Amino acid sequence: MIQAIVPAAGKGERLGSKVEKPYVLLAGIPLIVRTLKMLESVREIDSIILVVSRKWREKVQKKILERYQLKRVTAVVRGGATRMESVYAGLSSLDSKTRWVLVHDAARPLVRGDEVSRLIQSARRTGAVCPGVIPKDTIKKVDGKNWVRETLNRQELRVILTPQVFRRHILMKAYQRAFTQGYSGTDDASLVERMGIKVKVVEGDRENIKITTPEDLLLAEIILKRRLSQADFFVLP
Ligand code: C5P
């Protein structure tokens, strides 16, 4: 059994919106609805655990899940102060039969179903996968005073996206160890890597952008418009 955990408890302050990021409208539909609908279209995923802020814990059922007929979200749990705490809240409410866990940021509504399926297939072969793309820009390391220390080789770098897919027991152990050791990571794979477990990077989709700042919303609307005109994207009311 595969369950998806969708952390959506962040404030999204860099977006500069009064509404919390997951509930901001993207081409007329809340961002979180687009993300969840896309995951619901992936037949390998049995159910979804949605992690929300305290404020939305009560409202999300009526305003989002019922209103947009999201049928495969089987649990709504309250997130924490960090992404790690929020994902761990999701991990703590997995079904006992679940063997594989897929973690996908609510803030990536443009993920495509076939990309998700490809990642799941790859995880079944390797145990732990994340999608990545080669950076377009040159990346330099700098010191505390902004002097360049080193220019990194782009071919050896990957910008890491979600969804990331893991064997349940590996991810659970990785989170528990990270908390015990006081380590904080910005993605799930980094916690698994620290245990000495190999994580495979699979070619990601450059359109699977994370909505962080206002220009990301603009770009996402353009991508959506093009997909709708090509009719390769689900149509929402
Ligand atoms: O902050 P960042 O962009 O890394 O957030 C990635 C995802 O993690 C977002 O979907 C956000 O809602 C979620 N998150 C969360 N709980 C937090 C912080 C972030 O669920 N405390």
Ligand 1 centroid to Cα of residue 155, in Å, is: 28
Indicate which atom in ligand 1 lies nearest the CA of residue 108: 10
Number of the ligand 1 atom closest to the C-alpha atom of 186: 4
Q: Of 24, 79, 88, which Cα lies nearest the Cα of 57?
A: 79
Name the least confident of 10-19, 109-118, 171-180: 10-19
pLDDT in tens, 80-107: 999 999 999 999 999 999 999 999 999 9
Quote the DSSP letter at residue 113: H
Q: Cα(first)–Cα(last) distance of the chain, in Å? A: 30
- Range 63-81 average pLDDT: 97
Element (H, E) at 178: helix 168-181
pTM: 0.95
Mutate to test the pocket of ligand 1, among 36, 86, 217 (most ligand atoms within 8 A of CB): 86
Which domains, from first to last, does the chain contain? 2-229 (3.90.550.10)
Q: Is the CB of 167 under 6 A from ligand 1?
A: no
Give the rounded percent of residues in the chain with a pLDDT score beyond 70.
Answer: 97
233: its two tokens:
């994207």
How remote is the CA of residue 162 from the centroid of ligand 1, in Å? 12
Atom number, ligand 1, closest to the C-alpha of residue 8: 12
Please give the average per-residue pLDDT across 116-134, as a whole number: 98
Query: pLDDT tens, 139-149?
Result: 999 999 999 99
pLDDT for the residue numbered 235:
57
- Local confidence band at 11 (pLDDT 50, 70, 90 cut-offs): confident
Q: What is the pLDDT of residue 231?
A: 64
8 lines ligand 1 (CB under 6 A): yes
